[in-house]
Amino acid sequence: MEYGLGKKAFKDWVVAEVSFSPDMLGKGEAIMYLGNGYMGLRSATEEAYLKETRNLFVSGTFNKAEQNEVTELPNLADVTKLDIRIDGERFSLEFGETKDYVRQLNVKTAELTRSFHWTSPKGKELEFLFKRFVSLDNLHVIAMKMEVESLTESVEISFDSGINAQVTNSGSQHFLEGERRVYDRRFVQLVQTTNESGIDVVHNTAHKVFVNGHQVNTEPKMDMSRRKVWLTYDLTLGQGEKLEVEKLTTVYTNRDKEFDKPTYELSQLREHGIADLKEAVARGYDNLFEAHRTAWQNKVWNVYNFEVDSEDSFDQLALRFALYHLTIMTPAHDERMGIGAKALSGEGYKGHSFWDTEIFILPFFTYSNPHIAKSLLTYRYHGLAGARRKALENGYEGAMYPWEAAWPTDGEVTPAWGDVDIVTGEQTKIWSGLIEQHITSDISFAVYQYYRVTGDEEFMTNHGYEMIFDTAKFWASRLEWNDKKEEYHINNVIGPDEYKEHVDNNAYTNYMAYFNLKLASRFFEKLKKENPKRFTELDNQLSLTKAYPIWEKKAEKLYLPKPQEADLVIPQDDTYLRLKEIDLTKYKNQEGVRGIYKDYNPEQINKIQVTKQADVLVLLYLLEQTFLNEDYRFSYEVKKANFNFYEPKTLHDSSLSLATHAILANDIGKQELAYSLFKEACEIDLGPYMHTSDEGVHAASIGGIWSAAVFGFAGIRIKGNQLSIHPKLPKHWNRMNFTIKWKEQPLTITISQSALSIKAESKGSIVCEIFGKLYSFENEVEIPIRNIQLADI
C-alpha cells in the first residue's frame, strides 16, 4: 500500500496501491470499498480475475437462504464487471505489459480511480482510467466511468456490460431468479426478490458512450442468460482517440423506508428506479460526482473537522481513512438498521451487529455526530422485542440482547453450530449466542454514554429508559445466588475474551451487570421525579415499582472481583489465575491472527492463561466513564498492574483489542507504547498485511482508531456530569484538532504540544474539566499544556 500519493488538496487523503497482484485482490477490494451506509460496493476491478470477490450489499436486506441457516446480508447482483476485449482478446492485467499502475481511493471525495498504461500482447499501447463512486448525494446511485485512449494505432475495443445476478454468498443463493428487461435498447433492469424475507430489489443501469468527447449513439447488442442481462458495445478507436464510457446504476429495494408501507407495489420500485436512473443519465458522471463530493464535504469533513499534524503523515491519513469508513459503514438514513462487524465490505459475519458497535464505534458518533448515534441506538430499541423473546426463551425476564443482531425483530441470529471440527468430525457448537451475555449491559452503557454526552432527554423518554429498565430486569433475573458465599454470581458465561468459554464471574460481565442494575435504579428515581407521566406508562408496562427494590438488593449482593491485595490484578474470572502459563512469544510475534490454533485446539486454549483480546482492560476503560467511577475508581496502580499482567497474555486475536490497549497504555503513561499500539490498530486494515481484510474490513477496529486518538491522545472522557479533557499528545504529533458535540454544543478542540484550545460555536458558558480542573468559559478557551504528572490521571 502507498500512503503518500495524495498531493496538494489531497495530501494525506489518498490510499493507493501501485502494483497489481491477482493473488492479493481481497485487500484492495475491502479496504477501498465504496458506500454510503445505504449500500456497500466492494471494489473488485472492472475486468474479472479468478480470485476476485464481487459484493454489493444493501443495509437491512436480510434474508435466510435456507431454513436451517441464520439470516444474512445477501450479495446483490453485480454491475461493476466489464468484459473488455481489445482486438478480440480478453483484456486483463495478467496479459500484456502494465506500466504506471495506480489505484487510489481518495477518501476526501470518496472516489476510487485506477489508471495505467497497458501494452497489449499484440503490442498496441493504451491508456486506461477507471473511476467510480457510490453517491452520498443520492444514496441509490452507483456511478462508474471508463476512459481508454489508443496511443499507438487503431484498435477494436468491445465490452459487455450489464447486470449479473449469478453471484452468491459463497455458493448460497438468496434470490429467486427474477426478471430481466431492457427498455429502449438502453435501460437495463433486473428485478429480484429474496427467497425468504421477500424483499424486492431493483437494479437499473445505463451507459453513456463518448468518443473524443462527443456522445455516440451506438446501438449495443442485447443479450440475456439465466440471472444475467447485458449489452455489448463494439467500437474502433483510431490512434490518439479516446473512448469514455459512463455506467450509471440505481438500486432500490422495498426495505427502503419510502417503499416499506402497506400501499407498496413492485411497479413503484421499478418506475421510481428507472426514473431516477434517467435523471442520473441526464446529469452524467461529472455532475453526479460534483454533488457527491459536495455532500462529503458538508456531511462529513466539515462536521468532524479532524486534523492531525504528525511527523508521520500516515497518522493523518489513517484517521481520515477511519472517518471515511465510519461514514460508509453506517446506515444513518434508517434507524431500523445497524452496523455489521465487517461493515458493508464482505460476507464475513453475515452483516450482523455485535457489541462492536456500542463499545467501539458508537462513541465516535455519540461525540461527533449524535443524530447518527441516536439512530443506531434506536435500532437497538427496535430490537427490544427480539431481546425480550430471547430472555423468555432462556428462562429470564426483561430484555436479553442478541449476541448477533440483524433485522431488529429477528432476535438472536448467532449461528447455533459452527464448522465441523475437521479432526474429530464433530460439529462445534457456537456458544456466544447463548452465554456471551455482556452485550446487554454494553448496550446500556452506550445509552448512558449517549445521554451523558448529548443530554437528549427526548431519546431517553421515548427509548432509552425503557431499554435500561428492561435490561436491568434481565440481569436481576440472571444473577445466581451462591448460598455458601451469600452473594450473587454470574456463572457459565463468555466474557470479551472468547478464548475462555463457560467461565464463572467474568469480571467484565459482573461489573457491567452491576452498572446496568445501578443505572436502572438511578433512572427509576430520576424518571419518577421528573416525568411522572412517562414513569407511570413504563411502570404499567414493565412493573418497575416491583422491580426497583430487587435491582438495588441484588446489585448490592453481586460479587465484584476486586483487585487482589498482593498484585492488584483483577481476576478475569474465577479460574483464570490458576490456569497453566505457557510461553506465548511465538504467537505474539506472528503476523496474522489465531496462530495459536495451529498448536492447540479450543479445548486446550480454554485451559491456558492466554487472552484473545482486552477483557479486564476494557472494563477499566469503560468503568471510569460511568458514575460508578466514584465507587470503583481503580487507581492508577490498579490500571498499570492489570495492563502489565494481561497485555503479555493477550494475543490481540480480535481486532477490537489494540485500540483499547492504546488508550490504556496512554493512561498509564506508556506513551511510546500507546503510539505504537495506535499505529498497529491503524494497520489492521490499512497496513501491509495483504490477506487480513479478505473477508471484509474490521469495523470495530476502525472505530478504535478514532477512539485511540480522541479518548487516548486527546484524553476526552466523561467525568461525572462533565466533559473532561486531559490530552497527552504523542511526541510525534504537533497538533490535532477535531469537533465534538457536548450537549448539542459543537466544540472544536485543538491540541498542540504547548496548548489546548476549545472553541464553542454558540454563546453561553461552557463548563469543562481540563487537566483535572474545572473551567468555565464562553466561546473559547486556550490553556497552555503543563508538564503532565501521572498523578493527574
Q: Binding site membership: which residues? A: 355-356, 612-613
Q: Determine the interface stretch with its own copies among 206-214, 220-228, 386-394, 499-507 (rule: CB under 8 A).
A: 220-228
Q: Return d(Cα 716, Cα 770) in angstroms, integer.
A: 9
Amino acid, res. 121: P
CA nearest neighbour of 324 among 158, 107, 173: 107
Interface residue with its own copies among 9, 213, 395, 422 (CB under 8 A) is 422
71-90: contacts with its own copies (CB under 8 A): 89-90
Cell numbers describing residue 428? 462445534
Kindly give the pairing relationship between strand 755-760 and strand 745-752: antiparallel
**What are 744's three cell numbers?**
448539542
Please report whether residue 601 would count as binding its own copies according to CB under 8 A: no
Q: Measured between alpha carbons, how far is 245 from 131 in angstroms, rounded to an integer?
A: 10
Kindly state the smallest distance separating residue 410's Cβ from its own copies, in Å. 19
Name the 3-class secondary structure at 365.
helix
Select the span of 168-176, 584-592, 701-709, 766-774 touching its own copies (CB under 8 A). Answer: 168-176
Residue (348 or 727) nearer to its own copies, CB: 348
Backbone angles phi, psi at 636, to 5 degrees: -50, -40
Residue with cell 489546548: 756
181 binds its own copies (CB under 8 A): yes
How are beta strands 307-310 and 200-211 bridged, if at all? Answer: unpaired
Catalytic residues: 498
Interface with its own copies includes 50 (CB under 8 A)? Answer: yes
For its own copies, give the closer residue by CB, 636 or 689: 689
Q: How many CB atoms lie within 10 A of CB 431?
A: 18
Q: Can you list the positions of beta strands (E) in 656-786?
A: 716-719, 722-725, 733-742, 745-752, 755-760, 765-770, 773-778, 780-784
In terms of CB distance, is 174 or 679 closer to its own copies? 174
To its own copies, the closest distance from the beta carbon of 116 in angstroms equals: 19
Q: How far apart are CA 486 and CA 488, in angstroms?
A: 7
Q: Nearer to its own copies by C-beta: 89 or 307?
A: 89
Rounded to an integer, what distance in angstroms lies between the CA atom of residue 656 and that of residue 651? 11
Query: Binding residue for its own copies (CB under 8 A) from 140, 180, 278, 463?
Result: 180
Contact 562, 570 (CB under 8 A): yes
Give the cell for residue 300: 462529513
Pick one of 5, 48, 211, 673: the residue that binds its own copies (CB under 8 A).
48
Burial code of 137-159, b = ≥16 C-beta within 10 A, e = fewer?
Answer: bbbbbbbbbbbbbbbeeebebbb
Give the C-alpha separation, 708 to 560, whole Å.
27
Stretch that binds its own copies, among 56-64, 65-73, 315-323, 443-451 (CB under 8 A): 65-73
**Smaller CB separation from its own copies, 182 or 476:** 182
Near its own copies by CB under 8 A, which window of 3-11, 171-179, 467-475, 682-690? 171-179
Minimum CB distance to its own copies, residue 63 (Å): 13
Q: Which amino acid is at 529?
A: K
Q: What type of residue sits at position 86?
A: I
Three-state secondary structure readout of 410-460: HCCCCCCEEEECCCCCCEEECCHHHHCCCHHHHHHHHHHHHHHHHCCHHHH
Cβ of residue 70: shortest distance to its own copies, in angstroms?
11
Q: Output 426 or 486, the one with its CB closest to its own copies.
A: 426
Report the residue number, 265 or 761, with the smaller CB distance to its own copies.
Answer: 265
Distance CA 135, CA 296 (A): 9
Q: Which amino acid is at 687?
A: G
Q: Using CB under 8 A, which of 10, 11, 49, 748 touches its own copies? A: 49
Verify binding: residue 673, its own copies, rule CB under 8 A. Answer: no
Question: Does position 127 bind its own copies by CB under 8 A?
Answer: no
Check residue 266 for interaction with its own copies (CB under 8 A).
no
Query: How many separate helices (H) and strands (E) can be counted in the chain?
Result: 22, 31
**What x-and-dash track marks residues 94-123 binding its own copies by CB under 8 A?**
xx----------------------------
Is residue 495 a contact partner of residue 506, using CB atoms and an 8 Å limit? Answer: yes
**C-beta of 269: minimal distance to its own copies in Å?**
16
CA 45 to chain centroid: 23
Pick from 98, 120, 195, 432 the residue near its own copies by CB under 8 A. 195
408 phi/psi in degrees, rounded to 5: -50, -40
Looking at 187-246, list the stretches that DSSP marks H as alpha helix, in order from N- to C-terminal side.
Answer: none
Of these, 59, 61, 161, 169, which contacts its own copies (CB under 8 A)? 169
Question: Contact between 170 and its own copies (CB under 8 A)?
Answer: yes
- Residue 423 touching its own copies (CB under 8 A): yes
Check binding of 272 to its own copies (CB under 8 A).
no
Does 602 help bind its own copies (rule: CB under 8 A)? Answer: no
Range 229-258, binding its own copies (CB under 8 A): 229
Cβ-contact 156, 150 below 8 angstroms: no
- The smaller minimum CB distance to its own copies, of residues 132 and 227, is found at 227
One of 24, 102, 211, 224 touching its own copies (CB under 8 A): 224
- For Cα atoms 759, 765, 771, give the angle at the middle one, nearest 5 degrees: 65
Instruction: Kindly state the smallest distance separating residue 179's Cβ from its own copies, in Å.
Output: 6
Angle, helices 370-382/465-478, rounded to nearest 10 degrees: 50
Task: Using the minimum distance from each CB to its own copies, give the nearer residue, 165 or 468.
Answer: 165
Length of the chain in residues, anyone? 793
Using CB under 8 A, count the residues that bind its own copies.
Answer: 45
Q: Are 95 and 22 in contact (CB under 8 A)?
A: no
Provide, rounded to whole angstroms, the least separation between the CB of residue 66 and its own copies. 5
Residue 390 is a binding residue for its own copies (CB under 8 A): no
Residue 228 · residue 260 · CB < 8 Å: no
Contact yes or no for 732/755 (Cβ under 8 A): no
How far is it, in rounded angstroms, from Cα 510 to Cα 483? 18
Please give the annotated binding residues for substrate, written as ranges. 355-356, 612-613
The correct pick among 18, 275, 392, 420 for binding its own copies (CB under 8 A) is: 420
- CA nearest neighbour of 660 among 691, 703, 699, 690: 703
Kindly state whether residue 173 participates in binding its own copies, applying the rule CB under 8 A: yes
What does the block give as the cell for 623? Answer: 468503568
Q: Judged by CB under 8 A, which stretch of 207-215, 224-232, 294-302, 461-469 contacts its own copies?
A: 224-232
CB of 320 to its own copies, least distance (A): 33
**Measured from the CB of residue 164, what is the shortest distance to its own copies in angstroms?**
8
Please tell me the distance from the alpha carbon of residue 318 to that of residue 31, in angstroms, as a whole number: 12
Q: Is 267 in the site for its own copies (CB under 8 A)?
A: no
Residue 217 found at the interface with its own copies (CB under 8 A): no
Cβ-proximal residues to 278 (8 Å cutoff; 6+ apart), any chain:
187, 206
Indicate whether 23 belongs to the interface with its own copies (CB under 8 A).
yes
Q: Does 425 bind its own copies (CB under 8 A)?
A: yes
Pairing of β 141-150 and β 125-134: antiparallel
Min dist CB 32 to its own copies, Å, is 22
CB of 189 to its own copies, least distance (A): 9
- Residue 314: all three cell numbers together: 500516515
Tell me which stretch binds its own copies (CB under 8 A): 217-225, 308-316, 537-545, 574-582: 217-225
Minimum CB distance to its own copies smaller for 23 or for 480? 23
Residues 138-167 as x/- pattern, contact with its own copies by CB under 8 A: ---------------------------xxx
Cβ proximity to its own copies: between 2 and 196 the closer is 196
In the complex, the residues that contact its own copies under the rule CB under 8 A are 22-23, 48-50, 65-66, 68-69, 89-90, 94-95, 165-173, 176-177, 179-183, 185, 195, 222-229, 419-420, 422-423, 425, 427
